Amino acid sequence: NAGVMQNPRHLVRRRGQEARLRCSPMKGHSHVYWYRQLPEEGLKFMVYLQKENIIDESGMPKERFSAEFPKEGPSILRIQQVVRGDSAAYFCASSRIGQGIMNTEAFFGQGTRLTVV
């Protein structure tokens, strides 16, 4: 859905560098979710955030990965000291209220394709 904006669309990083992925949710949406997708794989949940709060980070690797959703500005997924295994498509989704509430749809951005060389 064009309403959720992710940038950059493509990102190339050398091993050991940092990657910063940005996600601006749809207008009026205060819930953001990050997913990772490897080639030919499904979407793997990483983290669920509301403004200034991490609600669920059970899918985040313990090291090198962090996420934030500040009061102002986009949500950021940060990967420090990238390795080749981090190469994947990273998708952000947003919803107006939490996904546990019926009739709440989550809309996806176009994704960021990270390539680590």
Partner 1 sequence: QKEVEQNSGPLSVPEGAIASLNCTYSDRGSQSFFWYRQYSGKSPELIMFIYSNGDKEDGRFTAQLNKASQYVSLLIRDSQPSDSATYLCAVIIRGGSEKLVFGKGTKLTVNP
- Write out the residues near partner 1 by the rule CB under 8 A: 1, 33, 35, 41-45, 48, 55-56, 58, 91, 93, 98-100, 102, 105-111
For partner 1, give the closer residue by CB, 69 or 91: 91
Q: Which amino acid is at 17?
A: Q
| Strands of the sheet with 5-7, listed across from one edge | 5-7, 19-24, 75-79, 65-68
Smallest separation (angstroms) from partner 1 to the CB of 70: 20
CA distances from 79 to 1, 14, 20, 51, 64 (A): 25, 12, 7, 20, 6
Minimum Å gap between C-beta 9 and partner 1 is 11
Nearer to partner 1, 16 or 61 (CB): 61
Backbone angles phi, psi at 6, to 5 degrees: -120, 140
Query: Between 47 and 79, whose beta carbon lies closer to partner 1?
Result: 47
CB-wise, 44 or 51, nearer to partner 1? 44
Which of 97, 76, 93 lies closest to 30 in space, CA to CA?
97
Minimum distance, C-beta of residue 69 to partner 1, in the bound complex (Å) = 14
